[in-house]
Chain A
Amino acid sequence: MSVDQLENQNPNIYKSIEERPCTQKELDDSVVDEFDSREIFDLIRHINDPEHPLSLEQLHVVQEDLIRIDNGNNTVDIYFTPTIPHCSMATLIGLSIRVQLLRCLPARFKVKVEVTPGTHNAEQQVNKQLADKERVAAALENSHLIKVINQCIALRRSA
């Protein structure tokens, strides 16, 4: 998306982690392989930042150890960390994470996406909006917004 003035002009950039090696056991269909936090992380780490040509992983917006998954109770809890405390893109980033997991995970999972405590000025407002499934549903019917979200989620070819 086009922005005249970048909110955060010099974000810290971090190194991406290695791809997860594929073991023989994982290729065995007879082994029950439950979702783990690394798998969830792999689904969201390549999401693009709306402002920079960088991934959420590279900006440390998402981190593997801020993901909790409980297969038994079908819950996935994710904390994301905006690069600056007044980031106006926080809701959009959270929505992108939600949409990606909505599309990739089985419908039984209840996904909670929240701002890492203490990292955003309007933390409560952002969290409440992201937790309201009716408002999320309405937002996803907005053709302009869904286009922007799809751009964030789409894998960059150069990545």
Chain B
Amino acid sequence: MGKLELVQTLKKSPGRVWNLGWHPKGEVLASCGEDKSIRIWAKDITAKWTNKMLLTDGHKRTVRQVAWSPCGNYLASASFDATTCIWDKKSGEFECNATLEGHENEVKSVAWSKSGHLLATCSRDKSVWVWEVADDDEYDCAAVLNAHSQDVKKIVFHPEKDLLASASYDNTVKLFRDDPSEGDWICCGTLTGHDSTVWSISFDCSGSRLASCSDDNTVKIWKEYPPGNAEGVPTPDGDSTWKCVCTLAGYHTRTIYDISWCHLTGLIATACGDDAIRIFKEDQGCDQNAPTFSLVCTVERAHTQDVNCVSWNPVSKGLLASCSDDGDIKVWNFQE
């Protein structure tokens, strides 16, 4: 069994904290929430996490999500005010130097591709937008994808390829890629199996598996079967088929709002509406076509209200950040 120990509680936000984003170097954390602002946190000389900066002049409504670019120079923020802001530090201070408009209503999520050349946003207007990032702070809309029939909650890019995954209120996860023959982005897969809203998704380090979490209180693990796979899973359209190979049911008592699959340790963390954080570990030597995961740690009452986000640090093994409706941000250390 593992142990998740609290390193520090970072207070300061009035109201709900929706999301956290680790800088790619792992030394800086961004948070956002109901108070319409973004906070940048880093360690001070006594190794305590402190609030270094407060970005307030970008959004008129709740900031739902933040995401650092892979180079670490840009921070994107998605807001209920229907815009996405891109912040950079070129002038020395963080400034919003680009605002992406076009969604009809609340932007729910934002994600960068590995190369940093693509940015994606999704909204309650059911659409997913792909933006091309040019050199001079120019963002051109490359695609508007209307494959979902409801509110799109979360988008993430594949860790290596320009493959985009989206999770929706319509209970499905969809995959999108650029189709060179069409010169456009297409939906290349629909993952059905959840019985209610899919709130979040996370790729493993190889990108050949995806974890999803839902309002149906389960986590599902999906595996990619590329054309010509040894298992004989059919791939009718020449695209990979993604199959649910594992469902984690019975562990969560309420909606699971977020999931984070650590690329360093392979551990999966979940953020749940029952106030708890849970850590799952894949069982060694299990069948890759029917893997099993064990619950290795539960922190009941990790927060005093719903946990909205969990995020593994990309550099420090076992370092986990979480935030909640109670306004707290917590940093944890996991040890096996």
Q: Is the CB of A135 within 8 A of B124?
A: yes
- Does B22 lie at the interface of the complex (its beta carbon under 8 Å from any beta carbon of A)? no
Q: Is the CB of A137 within 8 A of B62?
A: yes
Q: Is the CB of B306 within 8 A of A133?
A: yes
Cβ 8 A contact of A128, one of B62, B80, B197, B326: B197
Cβ 8 A contact of A134, one of B105, B153, B196, B254: B153
Q: Is the CB of B304 within 8 A of A128?
A: no
Q: Is the CB of A107 within 8 A of B62?
A: no
Chain B residues, Cβ within 8 Å of A133 = 306, 325
A/B interface sample: 5 pairs, CB < 8 A: A128-B169, A132-B197, A135-B151, A137-B80, A141-B62
- One digit per residue, 1 when the CB lies within 8 angstroms of any chain A CB and 0 when it does not, for chain B 118-159 equals 000000100000000000000000000000000101000000
- One digit per residue, 1 when the CB lies within 8 angstroms of any chain A CB and 0 when it does not, for chain B 270-288 equals 0001000000000000000
- What is the CB-to-nearest-CB distance from A55 to chain B, in angstroms, rounded to a whole number? 30
- Does A87 lie at the interface of the complex (its beta carbon under 8 Å from any beta carbon of B)? no
Q: Is the CB of A137 within 8 A of B151?
A: no
B interface, over-half SS: loop
Of residues 42 through 74 on chain B, the ones whose CB sits less than 8 Å from some CB of chain A are 61-62, 64
- What is the CB-to-nearest-CB distance from B60 to chain A, in angstroms, rounded to a whole number? 9
- What is the CB-to-nearest-CB distance from B64 to chain A, in angstroms, rounded to a whole number? 8
Q: Is the CB of A108 within 8 A of B16?
A: no
Cβ 8 A contact of B254, one of A107, A108, A110, A128: A110
- Does A22 lie at the interface of the complex (its beta carbon under 8 Å from any beta carbon of B)? no
Q: Is the CB of A141 within 8 A of B196?
A: no
- Does A138 lie at the interface of the complex (its beta carbon under 8 Å from any beta carbon of B)? yes
Distance of A133 Cα from B80 Cα, bound (Å): 13
Of residues 26 through 79 on chain A, the ones whose CB sits less than 8 Å from some CB of chain B are none
Distance of A137 Cα from B81 Cα, bound (Å): 12
Question: A128-B196, A134-B108, A135-B151 are contacts. A110–B273 as well, Cβ < 8 Å?
Answer: yes
- Does B204 lie at the interface of the complex (its beta carbon under 8 Å from any beta carbon of A)? no
Interface centre among B34, B80, B153 (most CB of A within 10 A): B80
- Does B305 lie at the interface of the complex (its beta carbon under 8 Å from any beta carbon of A)? yes
- Does A131 lie at the interface of the complex (its beta carbon under 8 Å from any beta carbon of B)? yes
Give the nearest-CB partner of A133 in chain B. B306
- One digit per residue, 1 when the CB lies within 8 angstroms of any chain B CB and 0 when it does not, for chain A 133-145 equals 1110110010000
Q: Is the CB of A138 within 8 A of B326?
A: no
Distance of A137 Cα from B61 Cα, bound (Å): 11
Interface centre among B34, B62, B153 (most CB of A within 10 A): B62
Q: Is the CB of B61 within 8 A of A141?
A: yes
**12 extra interface residue pairs, beta carbon distance < 8 Å, beyond A107-B305, A131-B255, A133-B325:** A107-B304, A128-B196, A128-B197, A132-B169, A132-B215, A135-B124, A137-B62, A137-B80, A138-B105, A138-B106, A141-B62, A141-B80
Question: A107-B326, A110-B254 are contacts. A138–B62 as well, Cβ < 8 Å?
Answer: yes
Chain A residues, Cβ within 8 Å of B305 = 107-108
